[in-house]
Chains A and B, each alone.
Chain A
């Protein structure tokens, strides 16, 4: 099993550009989520999903969109990048519809200039 994979590992965007961060898991987990990690702020939940076709907002959803068309994939879209979105982004998944033992991907470091 590859576990949770994220692409790209690093990305630099200009203000106003859009892009999609990819996340995939091969563990047949129903629950998937996106976090951002900033210095001194810990991990903050952006969006989460409890299954294909079901998504909900977390703590910091503004500026981000998600969709879940398959169990395996949960992409995160930045609509119009802003410098405040410079961060490390982690995708995570867990068994069933719970957020208990989450498995994290390796992260994407995004810089917006």
Chain B
């Protein structure tokens, strides 16, 4: 059974702090690792990671994948209250005819003033 585990489950930080969110996976036929941000409603796409060791960056957010140790991290520097959200990671696997996503339970981040 495919499994994706995120830690911590929740986190409260002060504005300006740097946070690291973790995602480990045990899946069959791994293809890629995705990160999403979910505020009040639908998840929105942040990053797709396919190759090990190559950092993806978007503003204050960055992410990296380690395919040997089967994990990814999402870093947020200089956090702002607008970063408060649930962060989801998902492993993309290939079934033989199509690909599908297995999500972790998410990390709830709260950024306070």
Contacts and interface: CB of A to CB of B under 8 A. Distances in A.
- If over half of B's interface residues share one DSSP class (helix, strand or loop), that class is named, otherwise mixed; here it is strand
Interface in B74-108: 88, 90, 92, 95, 97-106
B3 to A, nearest CB: 11
Contact of B43 (A58, A99, A104): A104
B113 interface: no
A49 to B, nearest CB: 9
A31 B106 CA distance: 23
Contacts of B111: none
B98 A31 contact: yes
A70 interface: no
Contacts of B106: 42
A99 B88 contact: no
Contacts of A45: 100-102
Nearest to A101: B45
Contacts of B43: 43, 90, 104
A97 B95 CA distance: 12
B41 interface: yes
A105 interface: yes
Given A33-B100, A106-B41, A100 B105 contact: no
Nearest to B9: A40
B101 A41 contact: no
B99 A98 contact: yes
B7 interface: no
Contacts of B95: 56
A40 B9 CA distance: 9
A56 B98 CA distance: 9
A103 B102 CA distance: 15
Contact of B45 (A90, A97, A102): A102
A58 B44 contact: no
A44 interface: yes
Interface of B: 4, 32, 34, 41-45, 48, 88, 90, 92, 95, 97-106
17 contacts: A35-B103, A40-B105, A42-B103, A42-B104, A42-B106, A43-B103, A45-B102, A48-B100, A56-B98, A90-B42, A90-B43, A97-B98, A98-B92, A100-B99, A101-B34, A104-B43, A106-B42
